[in-house]
Structure 1
Amino acid sequence: MASTVSKEISYEDLKALMGKSQNLLLVDVRSKEEVDKGRIPGSVNIPLDTVEAALKMEPEEFKAKYGVTKPPLDTPELVFHCQMGRRGGTATNKAHELGFVKARNYAGAYKEWSEKEGK
């Protein structure tokens, strides 16, 4: 049976999750150059072309490389984002294929975030 969990998360839901969850892993799949121009606070940069390898890492290796705990497969608090929404969607689909069944994409992406946050 298909999962009823939405693969997307809204700005408002992401803000609420950021405020209450200690386990949120917000993954910015943009390039380092894009991230250097601005980022969502607390996000971890794992460029799109390395997402699959990162999610396949052993937890110790993941923590050593990214400085955060690798999320469990069933975490509802794994969110991807990019600049406009497309690469975040690609990363979310890849995470789903690897068993992170509740991973979501912040489709509004950094573009919407920076507009709403007045950056």
Structure 2
Amino acid sequence: MKIIVVKKIATTMILALALASTWQVTAKEISQGQLQKIIDNDKQVILLDVRTAEEFAEGHIPNAINIPHTELNARLAELSAAKNSQVILYCRSGKRAAIAKQVLESNGFTELDHLTGDFRGWRNSNLPVNKGQ
């Protein structure tokens, strides 16, 4: 009797772990061209630049908001209305965007995407850049 109960508990735990791993948010890649179409069509997305404020002021994608990845945990309330909205992340080259994705994912954000090539790719594609805050 005890062996059956232990097997059922073990099976339940394994199933729970398997399901939990499939619930992780996977960010799809958005190309510069796809993002430009989103911007041109005024589609409602959150474009989140996670570089420093200084980098952002030097140039950023139009309509982006800046929350540096190091400040993201402290400033989550600013994004609370976007938990179920599409959030497109970018930084300079990808590392900080990946960190930001993990922070947002662990706080319940469900539609996280990443700009392929990040800001470098955007700038290298000669797409519009705004300067200043």
Q: Which runs of 5+ in 1 are unaligned?
A: 63-68
Pick the aligned partner of 1:113 from 122, 125, 133: 122
Looking at structure 1, the residues matched to 124 and 115 of structure 2 have their Cα atoms a distance apart, in angstroms, of 14
1:73 aligns to 2:77 (yes or no): no
Percentage of pairs with the same residue? 25
What stretches of structure 2 of length at least 5 have no aligned partner? 1-18
Name the Cα RMSD after superposition. 2.3
1: distance between equivalents of 2:70 and 2:49? Answer: 12
Q: Distance in 1 between matches of 2:123 and 2:82?
A: 29
Runs of 4+ in structure 1 deviating by more than 6 angstroms, as ranges, are none
Q: Which amino acid aligns with 2:82?
A: P
| TM-score of the aligned structures, taking structure 2 as reference length | 0.68
| 1:73 alignment partner AA | K
What is the number of equivalent residue pairs in this alignment? 107
Alignment of 1:67-106 (within 5 A): 70-75=80-85, 77-106=86-115
Pick one of 52, 60, 67 that aligns with 2:73.
52
Q: Whose Rg is larger? A: 2
CA separation of 1:32 and 1:4: change in aligned 2, threshold 3 A? closer
Counterpart amino acid of residue 13 in structure 1: Q
